Chains A and B, each alone.
Chain A
Amino acid sequence: MTKILYTDKLDNCVERWRSAGLSVIGPVRNANITAYRPVGSAADLELSQILPDRSIKELFFPQTEPMMRYSIKKDAINTEECLPPVGPRIIFGARPCDASGLAIDDPLFGWDYKDEYWFNRRNETVIVSIACTKSDEFCMCTSLKLSPDSTKGSDVLLRPLESGKGWQVEELTDRGREAFKAIAELLTEGAEAAAPTAVVAEKFDADACSEWLRNPENFESRFWKEISVRCIGCGSCTYLCPTCHCFDIQDEGDTFTGIRRKNWDSCSFALFTMHTSGHNPRSTQSARWRQRIMHKFNYFPGKFSANSCSGCGRCTRQCPVDMGITETLQEISKLSQ
Chain B
Amino acid sequence: MTENIHSAPQNIYKPAIMKIVARHDEAPGVRTMRLEFQDPAEHEQFKETFRTGMFGLYGIYGEGESTFCVASPETRKEYIECTFRQSGRVTSALASADVGDLVTFRGPYGNRFPIEDFYGKNLLFIAGGIALPPTRSVIWSCLDQREKFGKVTIVYGARTVADLVYKHELEEWQKRDDVDLVLAVDPGGESPDWKHRVGFVPTVLEEAAPSAENCVAVLCGPPIMIKFTLNSLKKLGFEESNVYTTLENRMKCGLGKCGRCNVGSVYVCKEGPVFTAAEVALMPQADL
Contact = CB atoms under 8 A, between A and B. Distances in A.
Direct A–B touching in the complex (beta carbon < 8 Å)?
yes
A67 B11 contact: yes
A209 to B, nearest CB: 16
Given A112-B4, A277-B87, A246 B259 contact: yes
A295 interface: yes
Interface stretch (B56-64, B160-168, B183-191): B56-64
A323 B51 CA distance: 46
A219 B61 contact: no
Contacts of A299: 262, 264-265
Contacts of A276: 87-88, 91
Contacts of B23: none
A72 B249 contact: no
Main secondary structure of the interface of A (DSSP, over half): mixed
Interface stretch (B74-82, B171-179, B202-210, B250-258): B250-258
Nearest to A69: B61
Interface in B1-39: 4, 6, 8, 10-15, 17
A72 B62 contact: yes
B12 A108 contact: no
A249 B258 contact: yes
A24 to B, nearest CB: 28
A258 B91 CA distance: 19
Contacts, number: 121
Interface string A166-208: 0000000000000000000000000000000000000000000
B14 A113 contact: no
A223 interface: no
B102 A76 contact: yes
Interface stretch (A129-137, A140-148, A265-273, A325-333): A265-273
A63 interface: no
A78 to B, nearest CB: 9
Contacts of B15: 79
Given A79-B14, A114-B12, A273-B249, A267 B286 contact: no
A248 B61 CA distance: 15
A112 B270 CA distance: 9
Contacts of B88: 276
A108 B61 contact: no
Interface stretch (A34-42, A151-159, A279-287): A279-287
A16 interface: no
B284 interface: yes
Contact of A68 (B13, B91, B223, B265): B13
B265 A81 contact: no
Given A258-B61, A287-B286, A275 B250 contact: yes
Nearest to A256: B62
A212 to B, nearest CB: 15
Interface string B227-266: 0000000000000000000000110110111111011110
B260 A267 contact: yes
A246 B251 CA distance: 11
B17 A77 contact: yes
Contact of B10 (A81, A247, A291): A81
B129 to A, nearest CB: 11
Instruction: Identify which of B4, B17, B262 gathers the most chain A CB atoms within 10 Å of its CB.
Output: B262
A81 B9 CA distance: 12
B204 to A, nearest CB: 23
A262 B17 CA distance: 20
Interface in A77-108: 77, 79, 81, 83, 108
Interface string A293-306: 01100110011000
A29 interface: no
Contacts of B223: 279
A279 B264 CA distance: 17
A116 interface: yes
A265 B258 contact: yes
Given A255-B62, A260-B61, A287-B287, A115 B258 contact: no
A81 to B, nearest CB: 5
Given A281-B287, A287-B287, A249 B13 contact: yes
Given A262-B13, A265-B260, A281-B287, 9 more contacts: A77-B17, A108-B257, A112-B255, A219-B284, A247-B253, A251-B63, A258-B62, A275-B250, A298-B265
27 contacts: A67-B13, A67-B14, A72-B62, A75-B102, A81-B10, A81-B11, A109-B257, A113-B8, A113-B12, A115-B257, A220-B286, A245-B257, A246-B260, A249-B65, A249-B258, A251-B62, A265-B252, A267-B259, A272-B250, A272-B260, A273-B249, A287-B286, A295-B262, A298-B265, A299-B262, A299-B264, A302-B265
Interface of A: 67-68, 70, 72, 75-77, 79, 81, 83, 108-109, 111-116, 216, 219-220, 245-251, 253, 255-256, 258, 260, 262, 265, 267, 272-277, 279, 281-282, 287, 291, 294-295, 298-299, 302-303
